Amino acid sequence: MNQRPTTNDQRPNIVLIGFMGSGKTVVGKNLSSILSRPFIDTDSLIEQRQAKTITEIFDQDSEAGFRKLEALMVAEVTGKKNQVISVGAGAVLDPKNADNLKKSGILIYLKTDFSTTYDRIKASKNRPLLAASGSRDDMQALFESRRITYESISDYIVGTMNKSPKEVAEEIIEELRSDGKI
Ligand code: S3P
């Protein structure tokens, strides 16, 4: 019996990725409460630290300024284990962020179809890329280009259509448990 006991602190993070409106935050909160793990939402933490909304950061510091803050936040939060982490939809497009997240845990892509996603986010006032996008078609092009990255880097792909956030969280837990990942 040489195996060292696994403490809670050493369990891999569960990292939720996916397009805007895919349910990362709400599913993350459900996972966090079912598993009794801390929940970290990188966008919310950035807003708290900067005392500004994401929109204000984009307005004042441009998207590049936001991406720098996001990369620092991803590096910081991936220094700890045993968390549920939800990241902004663009975070994993930066290979360094994707690498940090992958090393810290299990990447789960919440897959939703574009129409559903768009219907959820179209009235949002705190999504600068949506505000800047010329049209639904532009958003769809962004969705399609990112989908390829999400699919290629994720460890699990979980469809969210016609499921409640709690059902999605339970499905994730069931899959991870049956694979001995948590
Ligand atoms: C972004 C998504 C947003 C937020 C920022 C940029 C993106 O997060 O990080 O507005 O690049 O798609 P959500 O995925 O939570 O909307």
Phi, psi angles (nearest 5°) of residue 102:
-65, -40
| Residue 9 pLDDT | 78
Return contacts of 49-58, CB within 8 angstroms, 24+ apart. 49/73, 53/126, 54/88, 54/126, 54/127, 54/128, 55/125, 55/126, 55/127, 55/128, 55/131, 58/128
| Residue 1 pLDDT | 47
Pocket test for ligand 1, best of 111, 129, 130 (most atoms within 8 A of CB): 129
**pLDDT tens across 103-137, in order?**
999 999 999 999 999 999 999 989 999 888 879 99
- Residues 165, 110: contact at Cβ < 8 Å? no
Instruction: State in Å: Cα 88 to ligand 1 middle.
Output: 4
Atom of ligand 1 nearest to the CA of 127: 10
| Residue 4 pLDDT | 55
| Residue 5 pLDDT | 53
- Residues 86, 25: contact at Cβ < 8 Å? yes
| Residue 6 pLDDT | 59
Q: Which two tokens stand for residue 177?
A: 């448990």
- Domains annotated for the chain, with CATH where assigned, are 28-174 (3.40.50.300)
pTM of the predicted structure, to 2 decimals: 0.95
Instruction: State in Å: Cα 9 to ligand 1 middle.
Output: 28
- High-pLDDT (> 70) share of the chain, %: 96
pLDDT beneath 70: ranges in the chain: 1-7
